[in-house]
Structure 1
Amino acid sequence: MKKILITGKNSYIGISFENWLMKEADNYKVDTLDMKDELWREKDFSHYDVVFHVAGIAHVSSDPKMEQLYYKVNRDLTIEAAKKAKEAGVKQFIFMSSIIVYGDSSSNKRIIDRNTLPTPSNFYGRSKLQAEEGIRFLDSDNFKVVILRPPMIYGKDSKGNYPRLAKLAKKIPIFPDIENGRSMLHIDNLCEIIRLIIDNKEQGLFFPQNKEYVRTSELVKVIAEAHDNKIWMTKLFNPVIKLVSGIGFVNKVFGNLVYERSMSDYGKGNYRIRSFEESIEMTEK
């Protein structure tokens, strides 16, 4: 039986992963740890095979007053937890980073491959990248460090940009038909690859994504259909959108940001168990 500690007790990903493993409760024992106060440092890590570190600030903020907090939580706390895990004899440390380390989405077609260098454009991305750099030095045969850089994660009760788009898709009768491309990752596909990474005792850098790239207009249309909302896609607004494509919100919605497909393949099991349309149906039902 694998003994796993999830740091980040109330996180969406942490809760989802714990529920995923409990489908095979005979194979996994899961505990969670709240790291919002100093008491977590008293926790004995020596009972665990794996520490899955999801504690952190997940949203992007442009408030300069928040910058030091991002580094304290996303970088410093991650490195401290990894060092504590290694000293306690934990065999594997899994860190949730993000595609955000490559910067924002782009108005032009943009495909990230293994040669693409991280260029974070905000302190959220920089805090994640510096956390990665801080824990890589701890990697060894006896302490396997895993770093995941997922794109936008979505699923039932998820947070972030997906529920905002979903709320829009349920109500509006018309939406711009823009030719963009986004990598996405359903929560079940994420949970499954983490389970496989644990079972296979992996280490290294991983780039999980769904099989399909998604256009924002397609995403909105499929969500709308799940709620019987007939939505008309039009290119009428495209010239205006292209004109303001550099603006933050417009870029988030209609920008391009995808991983090259082969870098997300995993040869030791099929983690992409949910197709795009199935995942939207499951999320919206």
Structure 2
Amino acid sequence: MKVLVTGATGFIGSNLIEALYCNEELTVIAVSRHQVPHSGVETLVINEPWEEYSWVQTLKGVDVVVHLAGISVESRESDQTFEDVNIKLTRAVFTAAQDAGVKRFIYLSSVKACTEYTSAGQVLSEADPCQPKSPYGSSKYKAELVLEATRSSAIDLIIVRPPLVYGAGVQGNFSALARLASLRMPLPIGSLRSPRSMIYIGNLVNFIEACISFKSSINEVFYVSDGHDLSIAELVAMMRASNSRRACLISVPPALISIIARVLGREEDVARLTYPLQISSERAKKVLGWTPPFNTAEAIRSSI
């Protein structure tokens, strides 16, 4: 089976390429703006604007496309850039995939295509309506709608909506929390107890592999997580415990934390981490028989 991966040098892409390379039944093509540092993988470096690239010839003979390329949530890009990359590029690759006879298209979306947070006790499922709250989330949801509207019956479409993805080498909020946890001082985050779903990179890669290898025809949207939701206080405590340290967390009113974040210009970043956001992976388990192979404690230990 021939698998083509876009965004192959990003955090998720590089981990996926490493795993796919170990599968002797697969021929892997990595597409990126940079050379993939893996001698055993065929690499296609595209320097021109990807949405203008002629994809059909590249995709001929490919069985599965895993489309990871996109502007990330941490990016400060304009709304137009989100649209050009996350929507127009996705449309271009998917249209070419159908024209080239690709059998399955796996699109990495985000939980943010649906929302940024849930109410207390609410657990999102694929049946819940989407109401994205940010330009990034809106661009991912619009891309999903484009895929569903233009899909022919000849191609399988799998849309994956992960929450925060973490692992060794990741940047963004998880990395910032790891740095915070490493400080040898008490931290005023003991009151941040809203549970949030996350997924370890090893679990996400394993899920994508399950999507690639699934034998039956499939057209689904999936939420996937570790299945062990943590609050910020619990996550930092677990990070410190991984280094044999006590949690040392002080409870400060969340409203005060929000005020400090506003003064520092980080209100949006703090809100993304402190509001509840829980998702259910039951559909992935029911349809694919998938359960995460790595437990949260060992995953966090290997990530910091």
Show the counterpart of 2:167: 155
Opposite residue 57 of structure 1, the aligned amino acid is I
Query: CA distance change for structure 1 residues 62 and 119 in 2, over 3 Å: closer, same or farther?
Result: farther
Alpha-carbon deviations, 1:205-230, whole Å to 9, x = none? 11111121111111111112223443
Aligned to 2:273: 253
Match of 2:128 among 116, 131, 134: 116
User: Hey, what does 1:31 align to over in structure 2?
Assistant: 29
Alpha-carbon distance in 2 for matches of 1:89, 1:207 = 27
Q: Which amino acid letter does the alignment assign opposite residue 137 of structure 1?
A: A
Normalised TM-score (structure 2): 0.84
Query: Which secondary structure does the structure 2 equivalent of 1:194 belong to?
Result: helix
Aligned to 1:142: 154
How many residues are treated as equivalent by the alignment?
280
Query: In structure 2, how many angstroms separate the alpha carbons of the residues matched to 1:12 and 1:182?
Result: 21
2:232 pairs, out of 181, 201, 216, with 216
Note the aligned Cα RMSD (angstroms). 2.4
> Which residue is 1:100 aligned to?
112
Structure 1 residue 23: Cα displacement = 2.3
**Residue equivalent to 1:83:** 95
Q: Contact (CA 8 Å) 1:138, 1:145: kept in 2 or not? A: no
Q: Does residue 275 of structure 1 match 2:286?
A: no
Change in 2 beyond 3 A, CA 1:146/1:115: closer
Q: Take 2:71 and 2:174, find their aligned partners in 1: how far apart are those partners?
A: 17
Structure 1 alignment gaps of length 5 or more: none
Match of 2:204 among 170, 176, 190: 190
Q: Which residue of 2 aligns with 1:41?
A: 54
CA–CA distance in structure 2, aligned partners of residues 9 and 267 of structure 1:
27
2:65 alignment partner, SS class: strand
Q: CA deviation at 1:110?
A: 4.1
Most deviating of 100-109 and 51-60: 100-109
The aligned amino acid for 2:104 is Q
* Identical residues among aligned pairs (%): 25
* Contact kept in structure 2, 1:147 and 1:206, CA below 8 Å: yes
Q: Note the C-alpha offset of 1:282.
A: 1.5
Q: Per-residue deviation at 1:22? A: 1.9
What is the distance in 1 between the residues matched to 2:156 and 2:201? 23
Q: Are the structure 2 counterparts of residues 122 and 239 from structure 1 closer, same or farther at C-alpha, using a change threshold of 3 Å?
A: closer
Unaligned runs of 5+ in 2: 33-45
CA deviations over 1:220-257 (Å, ceiling 9, x no partner) = 11112223443312324456347789942331221110
Structure 1 residue identity aligned to 2:7: G
